Amino acid sequence: MSASEEENGPGDDVKDPVLDDQAPRAASCAGGACGCGGAGAREDAAPALWRNLDELQQSAAFQQAVENEFPRQAVPLGLGVDRRRFMQLMGASLALGGAAACTKQPPEEIVPYVKQPEEIVPGNPLFFATAAPMGGGYALGVLATSHMGRPTKIEGNPEHPASLGSTDVFAQASVLGLYDPDRSKTIVNAGRIRTWEAFVDALTMELATQEGSGGAGLRILSGAVTSPSLAAQMTAILARFPLARWYQWESASDRSAVLGSRAAFGRDVSVRYDLAKAQVVVALDCDLLGKGPGAVRYSRDFARGRRVWESAPEGTAPGTMNRLYAVECTPSPTSTLADHRLALKPAEVGAFAAALAAALGVPGAAAPAGWNHPEAARLLPVLAKDLLAHRGSSVVAAGDESAPELHVLAHAINAHLGNHGTTVLLGEPIAARPTDPLADLEALVAELQAGKVEALLMLDVNPVYDAPPELKVADALLSPAARLRVHWGLYDDETARYCHWHVNAAHYLETWGDARAYDGTVTLQQPLIDPLYGGRSAHEVLAVLENRPGTGAREVVQGLWQPRLGGEPQWRKAVHDGFVGGSAAPAAGAGVNGGAVAAAARTITEALAQQQGYTLAFRPDPSAWDGRYANNAWLQELPRPFSKVVWDNPVLVSPRTARELKIDDGTSDGLQGRRAAVLRIEVDGASIEAPAWVLPAQADGVLTLTLGYGRTRTGKVGKGVGVDVNKLRTRAGFWSRAGAAARATGDRYELASTQGHFLVTDPAGVERPMVRRATLAEYQRQPELMHEAVEAPAHDMTLYPDWPYEGHKWGMAINLSACTGCNACVVACVAENNISVVGKDQVFRGREMHWLRIDQYYAGDYDAPSAVLNQPVPCMHCENAPCEVVCPVEATTHSFEGLNEMTYNRCVGTRYCGNNCPYKVRRFNFYKFADWTTESLKLQRNPNVSVRFRGVMEKCSYCVQRINAARINSEREDRKITDGEVRPACAQACPTEAIVFGDINDAEARVTAWKKQPLSYGMLEDLNTRPRTTYMGRLANPHPELEEKA
C-alpha cells in the first residue's frame, strides 16, 4: 500500500461516519491530519498532540523500513554504534549472571576504625554543604551526601539563594565525575609520570628566571573566574610578576552579556532577575530557565507564578498567572512553558527586539526597515501593550548565545519599563575580572606567535579543542619560545597534549575552594573525601606562583575568609552553611545611553541584510555543555530535551528546512532506532558532516549545533562521541553564523532516541489524553474540564472491596504547567537508585533503564507547533496494579502503604509485568547492565539500594529507601512523619517544584491539597488502575487578544 493511500487510510478504512468527512483533510494537510480529525470529532478537543514527522506523514520510506522485518539484519548491527565501547560500558556483562543469584555467600569482613571519628555513626549518612562549579566559573550551593566517607549524592542547599534546595543536571551528575575511572590520575611530564615535588621544582626554576624580567614571559590562561580566593591569588601573582598577564577563556561564555552591558552602561554590570515579581517575561533567544548560573533559582521563582491554585507570589492576586513570551531560533526548556512562542532566525530575533523597543518608544530605538514577518507583526503590538501594562513587573531577557546588541536593547527596554530595581536587578560584576574571552585568547595566541610567552599555565581550559580554529591555538602553543607549558585539569585532554606538564586536578568534592553564585553570593566548597588520585587544587598550583609552595587549598580559602568574616566561629558557620550570608553583589545604579541603542539597532539591520544561506546556531549541549562533561556516562545517556537522542549531538533542523534539504527524519523502524540522514554543512571552506534531527519548533533555515562532542582525547565514555562543531565557529560567528550551505550526503547514521515518535491522535481522530490542558481562561470558565476529558470508572464498579490503607498512603502529584523537561529529576533518579548505563547500542534496541522518563509532545501544526508539552512519567503505583496480578512469583506486590513494590531478588524475569504495564515504566536487565567490576564506580553507589543483577525487572520505587529511613526515624522518635520529610530524588531535585510527594491520608499535606484541585487527573484513569501518581493539568496563559489553544 502506497504512502498516499496510507494518508487517507484512517478515514476510508475505518468505516465511521464522523471520519469520512475528515478524510480529505487528512489527505490535504498531512501534518494536521489527525489533529484536525480530532478537533473535528470532538468540539472541545484540543489540537492533535503528536511526536513524529514521518509517522505523521506516513512517508513511504518509513513504511518501507518497518515492513522489512529484519532491518537489523539488512543493516549490519549498530551501524554507527561503537560496539566495542558498548562492551566496555557493559563491563563484565558476559560473565554468567547466575553468580549474582548464587545462594552461597562468600565470607564477608567487618573492618572497624582504629579510632572512630566523632561525627560518624556507622551506617548513617552525613551531609556537607559545598559548592558545585558551573559553566562560567559560577557556583551552585549544594549538600553532598556522604556514606561512611563516600560522597554518593548531590542535593541542592535549601539555604542557598541560587539553589533553594534544587539542582540542575550537571550538579546531579558531578558526583559521577568524582569517581570517573578515566580521570587523569597522575602528574605527567613529557609522557613520564612525575611527582608533585618534581613539578614544583620545575615551575619554581622557571619562575626564578621570570622574576628577573618581572614576569614578562609568564602567562596564565584560566576559565572564567568568580572565586574571590583565586582572584586574590591572581592579584598576588601579578604583584610579584607585574609584567605577567592573566587571560580567561570560556567556550560557552557570557561574552555577549559582558559586551552588552559595557555598550549599554559603559561599564561592567551584573544582571539578575526576580521572576517571582515578574508578571510578563520576554525571553529573547534566552534559555532563562534551562541554562546559566541562575536557571535553578529562576525556574523556582517562575514556577510559583504558574501554580494558580497555590497562594500566588506577593504582589499578585491569587488565581493570576504570569505570562511568558519566547522568541528564539531553537527551542529551549524555557520555551516549553511559553504562552507565546515565535521561532525566528538569530538576526530576526534582533530585529524583533529592535521593533519591540521602537514599539515601546524606547529612546533611540528604530524598527529595522524592510523587515516584515507576519507572525511577528501579529505578536508585537500585543506584546508591547502587555509590557506597557506591566511596567516594573515585567522582564525582558536576552540570552548568552544572542548578539551583544540584543542585550543592549533588553537593557534599554527594561530601563524604559522601569523594571530596573524591581524585577531586573543590576549589580556590581560577579566575575573576578569580566572579560571578552575571545579577545583574551586572541591576545594570548598573538603573544605566543610573537614568541613573547615563555611560561604558560593553563588552568582547566581546553582551547585546543574548543577554540575557533581560526585562532590556531594548537600551532601557537608549539611556538619554540614557550619553553614551559603547564596544563592543570581533571582530564589529560587535547590541550594537555600540547603541554610539557600536566597536573591532575582535584575534583571539587576533594578539595577546598570558593566561587560566587548567580547573585554574587560567595559559596564555600569543602572536601568530602581525600583526593582519590592525589589531585591538586588550582589554589595549590597558584600558591607556587605566589612563591608560597606547599600552601594547601584550605589555607588559601580560610586565609582569605576567616579575617574577612571576623574569626574562626564565623568561618565555621560559613563552611557549615555552605555560603557567606549577605555576600550578594551590591546593587549598581547605571543608566542606558541612547547612542548605544541606536547603534545596536543599526548593527541589527545590517546583520539582517546578510541572511543568505542557512544560519548556524551554536549552543552549549544540554548534556556535555562545552565538552567538560563529555566523559560523564549519566549525562551522555540522558535523553536530550526535544530530540530525546542519547550519545550524540545531531544537527537540529526544522521540518520545512528538512523538506528543502530533501531529507526525512530517518524514522527507520518507528521507534528508538533512527537512521538519520547525514548532512554536510559548509561555510567559508570549513565543513563538518553530522546526522540531522528534524525538530518541529525549530526556526526555519537555522541549523542548531551543540558543543562538546567529537572529543579526541578524554575518557573512553566521551571519546569519539558525536561531532565536533567548534570547527565551524569563528570570532564573528561565535554563537551564530549566517551564510552556511548544507546538503544531504546520502549517508545514514543511526541515532538512538528514547522516546517513541507517534501520533497521540489515533486514526479515528481521537486524541489520547495523556496530557490534559487548557488555557487559564478556559479553566476559570469551566474548572472541571480536565476531569471531563476522560471518565474514570466509579470505585464501586467492582466485585472486590477497596483495600484499606491506614497509616501512610503515599502519593505523588506532577505539575505539567511547571515542568521544563530539564532532566534534573532523571539524573537525580539515576544517582539515587544506582541505575545502570547501558550504552547507545542498547538504547537503540529500546533497552534504556531510566526509571523516570520525560515524555514530550507537540501541539498544533507540524511546521509551527503551538506548544511543546513535557510529561514526566515515573511509576504510577496503581492501586489496582495490572503488573502485580500477572507476576507468577510475587516479585511485585503492594506494600501496606500502597507502594507498588519490585522485589529484585525474587524476580525470575518473565517480563509479563512489563508487558502488562499500560504506562510502560518497567525496565528489564536484558544483560548484566550494572557494572560489577569498576572499583571506583562501586564507591558511588547508594548503599541503601540493591544493585540489580541480570535478568530482573526494575522500576521506580518512589525512593522507598527514603520512605523507610523516614519511617524508622519517626517511629524511633515516636512521632508522625512530617509533610515534606520524605521526598523522592526527583521531587527534591526539581527546580520548578513540579513534583510533589507526600501522604494522601494527611489532609494537611501539600500533595493532598494538589490532588483536591479540579486540575488534578490520573493518566489512563479509564483503565481503572487508580494511579497514585497524578498530574496537574497543563495551563497556558495566552494574551486574551491572541487567545488560542496554546
Partner 1 sequence: MSSQDSGGRLYGLMAEFETPGALIAATEQARKAGYRKMDAYAPYPIEEVVHALGHHHSKLPLMVLGGGVAGCLAGLGLQVYVNAIAYPLNIGGKPPLSWPAFVPVTFEMTILFASLTAVLGMLALNGLPTPYHPVFNLPRFSAASRDRYFLCIEAVDARFHADGTRQFLESQAPTEVSEVEY
Partner 2 sequence: MAQIFHPSTNTISRVSIFGLIFFIAFAGWVAMAIDRSPAVTRERQVIEQPVPFSHDHHVGEEGFDCRYCHTSVEKSAFAGIPPTATCMGCHSVLFADSPILEPVRASFRDGTPLHWRRVYDLPDFVYFNHSIHVAKGIGCTTCHGDIGRMPLTWKASSLKMEWCVGCHRDPAKYVRPREEVFNPNWDPALISAARRAELMKEYKIVSRTSCSVCHR
Partner 3 sequence: MAGRDLEAQTAVAEPEVHQESLLEKGGYHRPGIIERAPVLAPGHTAGSVTDKISSVVLSGTPRWFYPAFGLAFTLTMVLFASLAKLFWEGTGIWGVNQPIGWGFAIINFVWWIGIGHAGTLISAILLLLRQEWRTSINRFAEAMTIFAVACAGIYPLIHTGRPWLAYWLMPYPNTMGLWPQFRSPLIWDVFAVSTYATVSLLFWFVGMIPDLATLRDRATKRVAKVLYGMAAMGWRNSAKHWHEHEVASLLLAGLATPLVLSVHSVVSFDFAVGIVPGWHATIFPPYFVAGAIYAGFAMVLTCTIPLRRAFGLYDFITERHLDNMGKVMLATGLIVAYGYGIEAFTAWYSANHYETFMMWNRFFGPYRFHYYALLLCNIVAPQALWWKSVRVSPVKLWIVCMFINFGMWLERFVIVVVSLSRDFVPSSWGTYHGTIWDWATFLGTIGLFLSLLFLFVRFMPMISIFEMRTLATEAQLKELPEDDGA
User: Amino acid identity of 235?
Assistant: T
In angstroms, give the least distance from the CB of 954 to partner 2.
11
Q: Is 119 in the site for partner 2 (CB under 8 A)?
A: no
Q: How far apart are CA 871 and CA 853, in angstroms?
A: 8
Which three-class secondary structure state does DSSP give residue 340?
strand
Which of positions 314-353 make contact with partner 2 (CB under 8 A)? none
Q: Is 1026 in the site for partner 1 (CB under 8 A)?
A: yes
- Considering the complex, state which of residue 466 and residue 879 has its C-beta at the smaller distance from partner 1: 879
Q: Is the dihedral of CA 800, 801, 807, 809 positive or negative?
A: positive
In angstroms, give the least distance from the CB of 306 to partner 3.
23
Q: Which does 531 bind (CB under 5 to 8 A by kind): partner 1, partner 3, partner 2, none?
A: none
Question: Strand 645-646 and strand 773-775: pairing?
Answer: unpaired
Q: How far apart are CA 288 and CA 125, in angstroms?
A: 35
Taking CA atoms, 374 is separated from 147, 378, 703, in Å, by: 59, 6, 22
Q: Is 764 in the site for partner 3 (CB under 8 A)?
A: yes
Q: Is 801 in the site for partner 1 (CB under 8 A)?
A: yes
Of the candidate residues 961, 1008, 1016, 1025, the single one contacting partner 2 (CB under 8 A):
961
- Considering the complex, state which of residue 114 and residue 369 has its C-beta at the smaller distance from partner 2: 114
Indicate the Cα dihedral angle 998, 1001, 1007, 1013, nearest 10°: 170
Q: Which residue has the cell 528538512?
A: 658
- Considering the complex, state which of residue 746 and residue 801 has its C-beta at the smaller distance from partner 1: 801
The H or E element that residue 744 is part of is strand 736-753
Indicate the Cα dihedral angle 829, 835, 839, 840, nearest 10°: -40
User: Amino acid identity of 425?
Assistant: L
Q: Which does 1026 bind (CB under 5 to 8 A by kind): partner 2, partner 1, partner 3, none?
A: partner 1
- Considering the complex, state which of residue 331 and residue 722 has its C-beta at the smaller distance from partner 3: 331
Q: Is 581 in the site for partner 3 (CB under 8 A)?
A: no
Which of positions 886-925 make contact with partner 2 (CB under 8 A)? 893-897, 899, 901, 903-906
In angstroms, give the least distance from the CB of 951 to partner 2.
14
Q: Which does 114 bind (CB under 5 to 8 A by kind): partner 1, partner 3, partner 2, none?
A: partner 2
Q: Is 686 in the site for partner 3 (CB under 8 A)?
A: no
Q: How far apart are CA 872 and CA 851, in angstroms?
A: 10
What residues pair up with 514 in beta bridges, in sequence order? 524
- Considering the complex, state which of residue 603 and residue 895 has its C-beta at the smaller distance from partner 1: 895
Residues 6 or more apart in contact with residue 234 via CB below 8 angstroms: 220, 225, 246, 432, 433, 542
In angstroms, give the least distance from the CB of 944 to partner 2.
6
Fill in the per-residue mask, 50 to 89: x = in contact with partner 3 (CB under 8 A), - = not in contact.
-x-----------x--xx-xxxxx----------------
User: Amino acid identity of 18?
Assistant: V
Q: Is 70 in the site for partner 2 (CB under 8 A)?
A: no
What does DSSP assign to residue 625? B
Q: How far apart are CA 866 and CA 247, in angstroms?
A: 45
Q: Which does 763 bind (CB under 5 to 8 A by kind): partner 3, partner 1, partner 2, none?
A: partner 3
Of the candidate residues 416, 923, 1028, 1039, the single one contacting partner 3 (CB under 8 A):
923
Q: How far apart are CA 216 and CA 241, in angstroms?
A: 8
Q: Is 895 in the site for partner 1 (CB under 8 A)?
A: yes
Q: Which does 67 bind (CB under 5 to 8 A by kind): partner 3, partner 1, partner 2, none?
A: partner 3
Grid cell in block for residue 1016: 488534578
Q: Is 927 in the site for partner 3 (CB under 8 A)?
A: yes
Using the contact rule CB under 8 A, the part of the chain among 321-329, 421-429, 917-925, 953-961 near partner 2 is 953-961
Q: Which does 110 bind (CB under 5 to 8 A by kind): partner 3, partner 2, partner 1, none?
A: partner 2
Closest CA to 956 of 850, 854, 855: 850
- Considering the complex, state which of residue 91 and residue 135 has its C-beta at the smaller distance from partner 2: 91
- Considering the complex, state which of residue 391 and residue 894 has its C-beta at the smaller distance from partner 1: 894
Q: Is 882 in the site for partner 1 (CB under 8 A)?
A: yes
What residues pair up with 900 in beta bridges, in sequence order? 894
Q: Which does 791 bind (CB under 5 to 8 A by kind): partner 1, partner 3, partner 2, none?
A: none
Grid cell in block for residue 174: 558531578
Of the candidate residues 429, 581, 756, 943, the single one contacting partner 3 (CB under 8 A):
756
Q: Is 803 in the site for partner 2 (CB under 8 A)?
A: no
Q: Measure CA of the first residue to CA of the last residue in the chain; give whole Å.
A: 36
Q: Is 530 in the site for partner 2 (CB under 8 A)?
A: no
Fill in the per-residue mask, 884 to 903: x = in contact with partner 3 (CB under 8 A), - = not in contact.
-xxxxxx-------------
Which of positions 834-853 make contact with partner 3 (CB under 8 A)? 842, 845-848, 853
Q: How far apart are CA 858 and CA 336, in angstroms?
A: 10
- Considering the complex, state which of residue 265 and residue 904 has its C-beta at the smaller distance from partner 2: 904
Q: How far apart are CA 964 and CA 962, in angstroms?
A: 5
Q: Which does 881 bind (CB under 5 to 8 A by kind): partner 2, partner 1, partner 3, none?
A: partner 1
Using the contact rule CB under 8 A, the part of the chain among 133-141, 495-503, 759-767, 963-971 near partner 3 is 759-767
In angstroms, give the least distance from the CB of 452 to partner 2.
52
Q: Which residue has the cell 541612547?
A: 594
- Considering the complex, state which of residue 536 and residue 675 has its C-beta at the smaller distance from partner 3: 675
Indicate the Cα dihedral angle 913, 915, 920, 925, nearest 10°: 70
Residues 6 or more apart in contact with residue 328 via CB below 8 angstroms: 283, 284, 285, 286, 335, 341, 342, 343, 344, 349, 399, 699
The H or E element that residue 608 is part of is helix 594-609
Q: Is 745 in the site for partner 2 (CB under 8 A)?
A: no
Closest CA to 667 of 32, 5, 36, 71: 71
What is the residue-wise DSSP string for 289-333? TTSSTTHHHHHHHHHHTT-TTSPPPTTS-TT---EEEEEESS--G
Q: Is 944 in the site for partner 2 (CB under 8 A)?
A: yes
Q: Which does 10 bind (CB under 5 to 8 A by kind): partner 2, partner 1, partner 3, none?
A: partner 3
Q: Which does 936 bind (CB under 5 to 8 A by kind): partner 1, partner 3, partner 2, none?
A: none
Q: Which does 69 bind (CB under 5 to 8 A by kind): partner 1, partner 2, partner 3, none?
A: partner 3
Of the candidate residues 83, 781, 795, 906, the single one contacting partner 3 (CB under 8 A):
906
Q: Do residues 725 and 686 touch, judged by C-beta distance below 8 A?
A: no
In angstroms, give the least distance from the CB of 904 to partner 3.
10
Grid cell in block for residue 447: 603573544
Question: Strand 1029-1032 and strand 810-815: pairing?
Answer: parallel
Q: Is the dihedral of CA 201, 206, 212, 213 positive or negative?
A: negative
- Considering the complex, state which of residue 149 and residue 803 has its C-beta at the smaller distance from partner 1: 803
Q: How far apart are CA 17 and CA 147, in angstroms?
A: 65
Grid cell in block for residue 87: 562492551
In angstroms, give the least distance from the CB of 1001 to partner 1.
16
Grid cell in block for residue 243: 609584567
In angstroms, give the least distance from the CB of 670 to partner 3.
5
Q: Do residues 160 and 524 touch, judged by C-beta distance below 8 A?
A: no
Q: Is 894 in the site for partner 1 (CB under 8 A)?
A: yes
∠ CA 390-391-394, nearest 5°, is: 65
Q: Which does 802 bind (CB under 5 to 8 A by kind): partner 3, partner 1, partner 2, none?
A: partner 1
- Residues lying near partner 1 in the complex (CB under 8 A) are found at 800-803, 878-885, 887, 890, 893-896, 1026
Footprint of partner 2 (CB under 8 A):
105, 107-116, 121-124, 893-897, 899, 901, 903-906, 944-947, 957, 960-961, 964, 968, 971-972, 974
